[in-house]
DNA sequence: GCGATCAGCT
DNA sequence: CACAGCTGATCGC
């Protein structure tokens, strides 16, 4: 196992300090280790610290280091291999992705890095403005060497409205079906704000499954027990696990009583691969975007999403709405514009280039960076990330990024299993430029 | 046999 | 292709 200094959203051991951005499954790999995870101090938000024991009872609670939004902590890490001491200063920034989600700004002897984790900072949204202000305040005029960014929807075609706009559209759809049962697909954590909005707007309770009820109570939502219930007889509105909301399920339910499904999420399921097994749904795509990189494994991305058009039936009985907890392209671009980092790394690694921030944001960098025409692998390998050109006078660092097995076979890489990053000791001459 | 990881699906 | 997360197969101890 390679020795690391610290890891973000990666808990398979080998680091001195760990950071968790939020409690979604694809960011907690390794936390459920048999015998109990106890590899080192674990920083997370207070909300995450409260929820974590229910999902990972094996984690030694004394290792949790809750850090609130806007707060900072100083820590020193000693390298297990060389004994060198590194000082770090970490600041927690609200990510607004799901309850308890954080970004981490980490500055110090390893340079300046921002790990956004999954995030959504809607332009013009008050909370996002506040979060951005907190970030700039923490940066105090310094610049980011490496931005580890949520590139889930990093493609110019992927711009969707703020969540509050889509929440209103969802309320309208439900209101237009006064005699229908309503099934809303959600995950184990997240979209609580949407459910609250629907409940308040329509003055109705919402059924959730028992585990979900426990979660909202732990979150301190609905302390008066007026909104969420596990009694199906009290409401026509049900939030169900997203994977259980399928066309087949809805058709079966409709044999019993009229039911509509609401899928509030990003929009990838609207995409149709040009050569894939696209279902013949009779829709004609309004847009067709080509990501012209040879051998990238993806040909044409098509989407028929038009933010100005009213929501429409996705399939029979089912509405798909772009209620996304991930930043859309304009928001990613705004963060790039604000920070102008020396380097950017996508935290979601896909076999294709279409979501690679280096591909779409090359104009933010010096020219040597954009010469990269290869299917950019999000700077994988165990290589060094050399900082790019920048004004003289500022200190620069080489930052070595290592990941467990990168690259393997194309088939294996289909799995999105590298959300996290482990930061290892820099190679010798630390200063560059 | 158990837990961790992987494959496949939505 | 896949937001996050389930089921079931397979691998290794």
**Residue A394: other Cβ atoms inside 10 A:** 13
Name the nucleotide with the smallest C1'–CA separation from A416.
Answer: C2
Query: Cα(A11)–Cα(A25) distance, rounded to whole angstroms?
Result: 12
Quote the pTM value. 0.82
Residue A266 vs residues A65, A152, A160, A251, A309: alpha-carbon distances, Å:
32, 9, 8, 23, 16
Query: Cα(A385)–Cα(A375) distance, rounded to whole angstroms?
Result: 17
Query: Do residues A119 and A296 lie in contact, with contact meaning Cβ atoms separated by under 8 Å?
Result: no
Residue A296 pLDDT greater than 80, yes or no: no
pLDDT score for A13: 75
* Å: A24 CA to B3 C1': 21
* Å: A34 CA to B1 C1': 15
Does residue A55 lie within 7 Å of nucleic acid chain B, judged by its CB? no
Query: Do residues A43 and A90 lie in contact, with contact meaning Cβ atoms separated by under 8 Å?
Result: yes
Q: In the 46-75 stretch of chain A, whose C-beta falls under 7 Å of nucleic acid strand C? A: none
**A4-21 tens-digit pLDDT:** 899 999 888 788 999 999
Query: Do residues A102 and A92 lie in contact, with contact meaning Cβ atoms separated by under 8 Å?
Result: yes
Residue A383 pLDDT greater than 60, yes or no: no
- Cα dihedral A418, A424, A430, A433 in deg (nearest 10): 10
User: What DSSP state is assigned to residue A426?
Assistant: P
Average pLDDT for chain A: 77
Query: Cα(A348)–Cα(A150) distance, rounded to whole angstroms?
Result: 7
* Å: A317 CA to B3 C1': 41
**A181-212 tens-digit pLDDT:** 999 999 999 999 999 999 999 999 999 999 99
* Å: A186 CA to C4 C1': 9
Sign of CA dihedral A265, A267, A269, A270: positive
Name the nucleotide with the smallest C1'–CA separation from A267.
Answer: C3
Query: Cα(A386)–Cα(A87) distance, rounded to whole angstroms?
Result: 21
Q: For the residues of A248-295, what is the DSSP string, one character each?
A: HHHHHHHTTS-EEEEEES-SGGG---SSS-----S---SEEEE---TT
- Cα dihedral A186, A188, A194, A198 in deg (nearest 10): 70
pLDDT score for A378: 33
Percent of the residues in chain A that have a pLDDT greater than 90, as a whole number:
52
Going by C-alpha positions, the residue among A283, A312, A339 that lies closest to residue A143 is A339
pLDDT score for A249: 87
Given the DSSP bridges, would you call strands A399-402 and A421-424 parallel, antiparallel or unpaired? antiparallel
Does residue A32 lie within 7 Å of nucleic acid chain B, judged by its CB? yes
Q: Cβ-count burial of A277 within 10 angstroms (0-12 exposed, 13-18 middle, 19+ buried)?
A: exposed
Residue A429 vs residues A386, A390, A432, A433: alpha-carbon distances, Å:
12, 18, 8, 11
pLDDT score for A371: 34
Phi, psi angles (nearest 5°) of residue A251: -65, -40
Query: Cα(A127)–Cα(A121) distance, rounded to whole angstroms?
Result: 8
**A80-123 tens-digit pLDDT:** 888 999 999 999 999 999 999 999 999 999 999 999 999 999 99
Q: Cβ-count burial of A318 within 10 angstroms (0-12 exposed, 13-18 middle, 19+ buried)?
A: buried
Going by C-alpha positions, the residue among A418, A404, A408 that lies closest to residue A14 is A404
Q: For the residues of A97-153, what is the DSSP string, one character each?
A: SSTT-EEEEEEETTEEEEE--S----TT-HHHHHHHHHHHHHHTT---SEEEE--TT
Query: Cα(A292)–Cα(A375) distance, rounded to whole angstroms?
Result: 10
Name the nucleotide with the smallest C1'–CA separation from A409.
Answer: B6
Residue A216 pLDDT greater than 50, yes or no: yes
Residue range A229-256: average pLDDT? 91
Residue A303 pLDDT greater than 70, yes or no: no
Name the nucleotide with the smallest C1'–CA separation from A276.
Answer: C1
Query: Cα(A366)–Cα(A371) distance, rounded to whole angstroms?
Result: 10
pLDDT score for A376: 31
Could you tell me what percentage of chain A is helix, strand and coil, using 3-state DSSP and rounding each to the nearest 5?
A: 25, 20, 55
For the ranges A76-80, A160-164, A203-207, the maximum mean pLDDT occurs at A203-207
Residue A312's pLDDT band (cuts 50, 70, 90): low
Secondary structure (3-state) at A224: coil
């Amino acid at each position: 196992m390679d020795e690391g200094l610290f890891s973000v959203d990666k808990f398979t051991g080998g680091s001195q300090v760990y950071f968790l951005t939020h409690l979604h499954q694809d960011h907690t790999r390794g936390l459920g280790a048999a015998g109990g995870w106890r590899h080192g101090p674990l920083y997370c938000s207070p909300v995450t610290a409260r929820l974590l024991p229910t999902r990972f009872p094996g984690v030694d609670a004394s290792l949790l280091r809750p850090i609130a939004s806007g707060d900072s902590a100083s820590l020193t890490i000693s390298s297990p291999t060389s004994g060198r001491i590194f000082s770090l200063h970490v600041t927690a920034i609200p990510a607004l992705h799901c309850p308890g989600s954080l970004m981490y700004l980490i500055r110090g002897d390893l340079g300046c890095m921002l790990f956004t984790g999954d995030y959504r900072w809607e332009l013009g949204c008050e909370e996002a403005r506040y979060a951005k202000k907190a970030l700039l305040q923490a940066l105090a005029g310094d610049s980011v060497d490496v931005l580890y960014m949520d590139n889930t929807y990093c493609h110019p075609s992927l711009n969707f409205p703020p969540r509050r706009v889509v929440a209103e559209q969802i309320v309208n759809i439900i209101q237009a079906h006064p005699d229908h049962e309503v099934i809303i697909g959600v995950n184990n954590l997240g979209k609580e704000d949407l459910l609250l909005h629907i409940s308040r707007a329509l003055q109705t309770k919402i059924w959730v499954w028992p585990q979900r009820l426990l979660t909202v109570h732990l979150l301190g939502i609905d302390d008066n027990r007026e909104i969420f219930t596990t009694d199906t007889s009290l409401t026509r509105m049900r939030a169900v696990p997203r994977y259980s909301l399928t066309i087949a399920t809805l058709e079966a339910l409709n044999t019993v009583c009229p039911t509509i499904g609401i899928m509030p999420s990003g929009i990838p399921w609207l995409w149709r691969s040009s050569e894939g097994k696209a279902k013949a749904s009779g829709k004609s795509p309004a847009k067709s975007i080509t990501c012209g990189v040879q051998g990238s494994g993806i040909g044409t991305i098509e989407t028929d999403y038009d933010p100005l058009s009213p929501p429409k039936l996705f399939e029979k009985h089912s509405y798909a709405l772009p209620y996304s907890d991930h930043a859309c392209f304009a928001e990613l671009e705004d963060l790039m514009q604000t920070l102008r980092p020396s380097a950017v790394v996508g935290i979601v690694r896909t076999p294709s280039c279409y979501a690679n921030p280096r591909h779409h944001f090359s104009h933010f960098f010096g020219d040597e960076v954009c010469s990269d025409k290869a299917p950019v692998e999000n700077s994988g390998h165990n290589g060094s990330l050399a900082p790019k050109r920048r004004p003289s006078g500022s200190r620069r660092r080489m930052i070595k990024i290592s990941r467990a097995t990168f690259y393997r076979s194309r088939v294996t890489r289909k799995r999105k299993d590298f959300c996290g990053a482990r930061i290892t000791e820099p190679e010798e001459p630390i200063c560059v430029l």
